[in-house]
Amino acid sequence: MSKASVLLAGAGGHARVCIDVIEQEGRFAVAGLVGLPQEVGTRVLGYVVLGADSDLPALLGEYDHALVTVGQISTPKLRMHLFGQLERRGSAMPVIVSPWA
């Protein structure tokens, strides 16, 4: 049985931590990440940055599961905006829990 794919909205340090937990948990396969325009085509822990924020609506159409992986920033506005996009598109947002928790 294949794992469901999850798209990660964010490609920085917090995304790296989330990838680690997703891999440890083993329920999902990371489909790729959404990052800054200059990050498109690069890799984060072996996973490709598929697009930038402007590509997110199209990418959400390809994946049933998505997760906001933008970390601590000065304001929560970006995280809230991304969460709203995922919610409006009907993305399933799984709860990821470390097996060490």
What percent of the chain stands above pLDDT 90?
A: 90
User: What average pLDDT score do residues 48-76 get?
Assistant: 93
Query: Rounded mean pLDDT of the chain?
Result: 94
- Please report the DSSP string for 15-79 in residue order: HHHHHHHHHHH-SEEEEEEEE-GGGTT-EETTEEEEEEGGGHHHHHTT-SEEEE-----S-THHH
Q: Tell me: the pLDDT tens digits for 6-33?
A: 999 999 999 999 999 999 999 999 999 9
pLDDT at position 1: 64
Domains and their CATH numbers in the chain: 4-88 (3.40.50.20)
Please tell me the pTM assigned to this model.
0.94
